[in-house]
Amino acid sequence: MPPVEFTNVLYVPSLHTNLFSILYLAMNRHFFISIWKDTISFIRNGHIAFKAKVTASNSAFLVGESIPTEEFAGLSSTATLALDWTLL
């Protein structure tokens, strides 16, 4: 599977994890969601875009890894502005 970038993901500190909406992906981003045993597949245009594994406590976690913001910023092809008070 090719790399996938998620945007507008809600981080909940007390959960120590991120949340995103499966219903939003299905209704607004045209994903087909397939759940079989302990795997959720997110399918778009006939191809699996990414998967999630379901735990014994019925929580699902995306299969993959996160790139820390510092590392990800270096992958961008666009320049960033210096952080100063005018950006706030």
Q: What is the mean pLDDT of each run of 10 residues along the chain (88 residues)?
A: 71 72 88 96 93 92 73 51 51
Q: What pLDDT score was predicted for residue 81?
A: 52
Q: What pLDDT score was predicted for residue 53?
A: 94
Contacts of 12-19 spanning 24+ positions with Cβ under 8 A: 17/61
78, two tokens: 């666009």
Model's pTM, two decimal places? 0.64
Q: What pLDDT score was predicted for residue 65?
A: 73
Q: What pLDDT score was predicted for residue 31?
A: 94
